[in-house]
Structure 1
Amino acid sequence: MDIVAKANKLIQASEDVIMMCVGQPSAPAPKTARDAAKVAIDNGRIGYTDASGIGPLRVRIAKHYLEQHNVDIDPKRIIVTNGSSCAFTLSFLSIFEIGARVAIPSPGYPAYRNILRSLSMEAVEIDTKAQSGWVLTPQLLKEAHALKPLDGLLIANPNNPNGTMLEASAFKELQETCAQLGIKFISDEIYHGLTYGQKEISALCVSDDCIVINSFSKYFCMTGWRVGWMIVPVNMIVTVNRLQQNLFICAPEISQIAALHAFDGLEELERTKAGYLKNRTLLLENLPKMGLSEIMPVDGAFYCYANVEAYTQNSESLCADILANANLALTPGVDFDSKNGNKWIRLSFAGSNQDMQKGLERLGNYLDTKS
């Protein structure tokens, strides 16, 4: 993410940069969360918690699954983590050995492959196509498994960077295919709550034999608080807790307290989501007019993934030039797809509507000079 570093340097130098490169809400954590954190600080010491997290938060997360998915989860299966990144590491270490082959859709979140490789595991990237809605199908998974057996599959639904989402029946079929082939299933549900049509499905609605990962970063607007969670099968509870104790100790207590009370701020969070919907409409209406193509409807998350082939075969250079000449930060597709991402860019619409309008104006003016 060199663009982010360059953009931040410009901002530090008082440049007016519009940040459409980072998947970070511009809205703060809900007031209920911030107020609870203030009270906790005023009350005294903030310290270690149980490795799995404070009891009330785990109970509230379990209640969330009952409310949203009609799934009854034992809070003992919930481990509160230092964001979803920590949960990925714990998941991989808990269920895979060195050399394990873990499938991930491409394009996809780059941290998946980077964390796997850092743990001496192999990220098996399965190409998906815009023409088929960026969907990883059971057939594609079977073909990859037939070439050389896979140990796991990690999938985000909704997806980053393209915002597409599998329908419930397709998601269920993919999960069942993993069970048939003996492939461990890890579901990244970090963008749950941020959907704009059909409701998302949790892997827990299909089977308990999976790992579910989520976070307070996206829907709850708590990126800097570094708090998330994972839900594991009963037979993994002890292993994951031991790893958590030794690697991370626990998620910050102050963040856990704030996260617990974030559930009381849903009305505020839904207003923030309504802003994303407005931004989404703005981008979907205007990007095609600029010559950007193959943009999916964006079922969820807060990203548009756009083909820039009309202007370049090198999206990395294009994004660098846009930043230098238009003070607009966008993410090149090669961050998400090293093979085919040179023709794509990702635009985040998690910012304010005013910033989206400014960003589109700057992008349009820049592209006019390239026509």
Structure 2
Amino acid sequence: MALKIGRGAEAPPFLVMDVIAAANARAASLPAGAPGVLRMEVGQPGNGAPRGAEEAAIRALQSRRPMGYTEAFGLASLRARIARHYQDSYGVTVAPARIAVTVGASGAFPLAFLAAFDVGDRIAMAAPFYPPYANILTTLGMVPQLLACDAGTRFQPTLAMLEKLDPLPAGLIVASPCNPAGTMLAPEELAAIARWCHANGVRLVSDEIYHGLSWGTVAESSAAAFSDSAIVVNSFSKYFCMTGWRIGWLLLPEDLCRPVECLAQNLFISAPHIAQVAAEAAFDCTAELEANKDGYRRARAALLEGLPQAGFDRIAAADGAFYLWCDIGHLSNDSLDFCARMLEGADIAASAGVDFDRERGHRFLRFSYCGAEAEMVQAPARLKAWLRR
């Protein structure tokens, strides 16, 4: 008799993780001395954790004090430091009791979704979107409601778009800057959406993991500035360069604090103690982190100049994050195949658009430019040579 397989086993793949595996295999197959694979497939900063964060972790380990469970919502000192970050960065006062330290943003999303929504609820989001939004919701029995966005809306949802929804969704996910397009909502647009959600009983989930990484437009926190009912997700992975430490946080409305705490106690117990120690110290590493950001800025400028000359001349407005969302419809109508051939032919790993938009992503791909600057700037020349073969 065949054993039952649970619905969780039907979760769609996060295809960029498959690209990582393919890029690793390609890199291993190259002969010694070959230029190597340009890793532009994943949003993982080429620099590791800031030195001050590493040193704090080393000191904690050398002290021989136990790195045990913390409270489910994390170390009190880290939560207080995150609260101070909202005062320093956004000019708003946030109670540390509303902050939950999580196992990365990836651990924050299921906590938020389970606390705020029920099975069968529809949660709206722009398409293209970060794949785990929809994949996690689907696994939990919720229904992603995709809002088709394009260059005309700067790949962001609009208030007019939301006002046409009937019936209204239970929730809305926004990201500014967003992944994969790197576009941002203007502060007045974000404010209008946040207030509309609050007034209409639509729970807003604001993904703010790319805050600190914007190029000319200041990022606002929707919950901190515009709405008391919104949920904010943030992480130490992107600006703070701490992907592998698996540490993030939620800023919660008061009505969800205890429900999320109970879920966290049962699902995760707590985020890793040593990662929390390092994360708290990372807030004092601004000079190093801003130097990293300057490197992304230079890589972005070089790519925006060089990619059009290589044939990639349809690029979304890259206001923030560290991605370029490219329309390759004039080159291919199969982004999965195109990215596979680009990996083999140009030794460049990039993410196929179908991961981010199941309906229209076949004609898009995403380049990440947060790797080593000296490597990122090589991409246009390699692509130009490959496409001319």
CA distance in 2, matches of 1:280, 1:134: 19
Deviation by residue 1:200-244 (Cα, 9 ceiling, x = unmatched): 000110022110010000000000000000011112111111100
Q: How does 1:340-359 map to 2 (within 5 A)?
A: 340-359=360-379
CA distance in 2, matches of 1:9, 1:267: 36
Query: What is aligned with 1:268?
Result: 288
Equivalent of residue 138 in structure 1, options 159, 162, 165: 159
Equivalent of residue 253 in structure 2, options 229, 233, 246: 233
Equivalent of residue 317 in structure 1, options 337, 340, 346: 337
Shift of 1:14: 5.3
Equivalent of residue 238 in structure 2, options 209, 212, 218: 218
- Report the AA paired with residue 11 of structure 1: A
Query: What is aligned with 1:302?
Result: 322
**Matched-pair contact (CA < 8 Å) for 1:77–1:231:** yes
CA distance in 1, matches of 2:254, 2:350: 42
1:337 correspondence with 2:357: yes
Shift of 1:264: 1.0
Task: Summarize the Cα distance change of 1:207–1:131 in structure 2 as closer, same or farther, 3 Å threshold.
Answer: closer
CA distance in 1, matches of 2:57, 2:355: 35
TM-score scaled by length of structure 1: 0.97
- Report the AA paired with residue 176 of structure 1: R
Deviation by residue 1:1-53 (Cα, 9 ceiling, x = unmatched): 22221012223445621100100000011000000001111112211100000
CA distance in 1, matches of 2:77, 2:303: 40
1:6 correspondence with 2:33: no
1:244 correspondence with 2:244: no
Shift of 1:339: 0.4
> Higher mean Cα deviation, 64-73 or 355-364?
355-364
**Matched-pair contact (CA < 8 Å) for 2:314–2:326:** yes
CA distance in 2, matches of 1:304, 1:220: 20
Task: Flag structure 2 segments of 5+ consecutive residues without an equivalent.
Answer: 1-14
Query: What is aligned with 1:171?
Result: 190
Shift of 1:357: 2.1
Secondary structure of 2:147 counterpart: strand
Query: What is aligned with 2:205?
Result: 186
> Higher mean Cα deviation, 91-100 or 173-182?
173-182
CA distance in 1, matches of 2:380, 2:373: 11
CA distance in 2, matches of 1:348, 1:11: 18
1:73 correspondence with 2:89: no
Query: What is aligned with 2:221?
Result: 202
Query: What is aligned with 2:384?
Result: 364
CA distance in 1, matches of 2:237, 2:179: 14
**Matched-pair contact (CA < 8 Å) for 1:292–1:310:** no
**Matched-pair contact (CA < 8 Å) for 1:83–1:217:** yes
Shift of 1:356: 1.1
CA distance in 2, matches of 1:73, 1:132: 32
**Matched-pair contact (CA < 8 Å) for 1:291–1:310:** no
Task: Summarize the Cα distance change of 1:304–1:63 in structure 2 as closer, same or farther, 3 Å threshold.
Answer: same
Root-mean-square deviation over aligned CA pairs? 1.1
**Matched-pair contact (CA < 8 Å) for 1:62–1:75:** yes
Query: What is aligned with 1:60?
Result: 81
Secondary structure of 2:378 counterpart: helix
Task: Flag structure 1 segments of 5+ consecutive residues without an equivalent.
Answer: none
> Higher mean Cα deviation, 276-285 or 289-298?
289-298
> Higher mean Cα deviation, 267-276 or 202-211?
202-211
Secondary structure of 2:285 counterpart: helix
- Report the AA paired with residue 229 of structure 2: D
Runs of at least 4 residues off by over 6 Å:
none
CA distance in 2, matches of 1:292, 1:179: 40
Secondary structure of 2:366 counterpart: strand
What is the count of residue pairs matched by the alignment?
Answer: 367
- Report the AA paired with residue 3 of structure 1: V
Shift of 1:181: 2.3
- Report the AA paired with residue 23 of structure 2: A
Secondary structure of 1:38 counterpart: helix
Query: What is aligned with 2:137?
Result: 116
Shift of 1:360: 2.2
Query: What is aligned with 2:127?
Result: 106
TM-score scaled by length of structure 2: 0.92
Equivalent of residue 87 in structure 1, options 92, 105, 108: 108
Query: What is aligned with 1:30?
Result: 50
- Report the AA paired with residue 279 of structure 1: A
Task: Summarize the Cα distance change of 1:13–1:254 in structure 2 as closer, same or farther, 3 Å threshold.
Answer: farther
Deviation by residue 1:95-120 (Cα, 9 ceiling, x = unmatched): 11111100011001001000000100
Shift of 1:135: 2.5
CA distance in 1, matches of 2:249, 2:19: 29
CA distance in 1, matches of 2:56, 2:333: 49
- Report the AA paired with residue 159 of structure 1: C
CA distance in 1, matches of 2:388, 2:153: 30
- Report the AA paired with residue 273 of structure 1: K
Query: What is aligned with 2:347?
Result: 327
Deviation by residue 1:252-302 (Cα, 9 ceiling, x = unmatched): 000000000001111000000000000110111111222223313311000
